[in-house]
């Protein structure tokens, strides 16, 4: 991890926030406009909401702030749409955490999350979709609890070591039935969308991944155009130029940066043509992964702010140690300050 560079960025962001705060104090004395630059009581940079406007992406020196009424402004006083001022905080919720840890869905702390990824159902060797880690009762319970809390729940299809099955399920002979199986699960359980997690054997089968995502987008739109479609990637497994061809078909590209800070991958995908506003940065909480302290989470948040990314995805919520896990406080601050803007 490039901790020194991130710390320098955090110092720069602190200076920017201090300048904006002082300007806000002055403006509040001169007009009715009040900028709330104190919404994060810890004083951490993670309290800023981010602009995700593809046509006018803000640089690091133009950080967004929240006013007291929940509306967003950039540092030039320009109003931002609610949709483009939302930081996504995505919690990965594996079936084994739900069933065997256990963490029942009605015991999840939904104040941390804007979205839930329910992990996972897997492609099978005969080209169909299997139950994987999730059975009907578990799917129904997870969706019901998420919806009761106002949080969308997205079904993950795929995962590590299922590259061979994806190659079979997405060939011309099987892809239509595979997509039908996926859509049937969305309708049966009420999921709010799909996240495609194809990791191995994408090189050499790029056309099959592209066809799967585009045809799945079309199939979901026939049910409801608001259904989400996400794709989970690692730059060494899913080439950035391939992902760049899918930016119009997906809502987010989730970089599984669980072993490092992920900034090199972010830069690779942006250089290939992926909008920063569609990139979600992964946070690895599981033992042996990189994000084990509050400072690690703050570093990931700093990268999100620096590049104006869509947000963060946490692997997994089963590794959160109780409601007072200090690693979650930086993320909690971000969600508290921006959740009302998410759409």
Q: Is 201 exposed, middle or buried (0-12, 13-18, 19+ CB in 10 A)?
A: middle
Under 8 Å between Cβ of 230 and 252 = yes
Per-residue pLDDT of the chain (343 residues; tens, 9 = 90+): 333 333 334 444 444 344 444 444 444 444 443 333 333 333 333 333 333 333 333 333 333 333 333 333 333 333 223 233 589 999 999 999 999 999 999 999 999 999 999 999 999 999 999 999 999 999 999 999 999 999 999 999 999 999 999 999 999 999 999 999 999 999 999 999 999 999 999 999 999 999 999 999 999 999 999 999 999 999 999 999 999 999 999 999 999 999 999 999 999 999 999 999 999 999 999 999 999 999 999 999 999 999 999 999 999 999 999 889 999 999 998 888 775 555 5
Residue 339: predicted pLDDT: 56
**Edge-to-edge, what's the strand order for the sheet holding 79-80?**
35-36, 65-67, 72-73, 79-80
| pLDDT confidence of residue 170 | 99
- In this structure, are residues 178 and 139 in contact, taking their beta carbons and an 8 Å threshold? no
User: What's the whole-model pTM score?
Assistant: 0.76
What pairing do the DSSP bridges indicate for beta strands 311-315 and 279-284? parallel
Q: Which domains does the chain have, with CATH numbers?
A: 3-80 (no CATH), 86-341 (3.20.20.80)
Contact, 334 vs 301, CB < 8 A?
Answer: yes
């Amino acid at each position: 991890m490039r901790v020194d560079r991130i710390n320098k960025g955090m110092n720069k962001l602190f200076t920017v926030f201090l300048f904006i705060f002082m300007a806000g104090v002055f403006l509040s004395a001169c007009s009715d406009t009040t900028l709330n630059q104190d919404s994060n009581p810890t004083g951490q940079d993670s309290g800023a909401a981010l602009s995700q406007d593809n046509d006018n992406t803000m640089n690091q020196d133009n950080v967004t702030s929240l006013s007291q009424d929940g509306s967003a402004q950039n540092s030039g006083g320009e109003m931002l749409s609610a949709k483009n001022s939302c930081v996504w905080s995505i919690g990965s919720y594996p079936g084994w955490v739900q069933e065997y840890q256990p963490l029942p869905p009605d015991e999840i702390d939904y104040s941390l999350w804007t979205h839930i990824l329910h992990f996972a159902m897997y492609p099978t060797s005969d080209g169909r979709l299997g139950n994987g880690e999730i059975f009907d009762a578990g799917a129904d319970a997870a969706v019901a609890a998420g919806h009761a809390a106002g949080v969308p729940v997205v079904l993950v299809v795929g995962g590590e070591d299922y590259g061979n099955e994806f190659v079979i399920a997405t060939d011309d002979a099987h892809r239509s039935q595979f997509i039908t199986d996926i859509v049937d699960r969305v309708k049966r359980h009420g999921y709010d969308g799909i996240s495609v997690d194809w990791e191995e054997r994408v090189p050499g089968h790029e056309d099959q991944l592209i066809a799967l995502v585009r045809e799945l987008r079309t199939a979901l739109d026939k049910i409801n155009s608001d259904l989400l479609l996400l794709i989970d990637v690692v730059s060494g497994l899913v080439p950035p130029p391939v992902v760049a061809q899918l930016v119009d078909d997906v809502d987010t590209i989730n970089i599984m940066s669980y072993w490092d800070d992920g900034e090199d991958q972010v830069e690779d995908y942006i250089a290939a043509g992926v909008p920063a506003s569609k990139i979600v940065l992964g946070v690895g909480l599981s033992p042996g992964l990189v994000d084990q302290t509050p400072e690690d989470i703050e570093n990931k948040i700093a990268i999100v702010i620096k590049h104006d990314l869509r947000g963060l995805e946490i692997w997994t919520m089963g590794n959160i140690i109780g409601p007072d896990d200090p690693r979650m406080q930086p993320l909690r601050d971000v969600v508290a300050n921006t959740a009302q803007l998410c759409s």
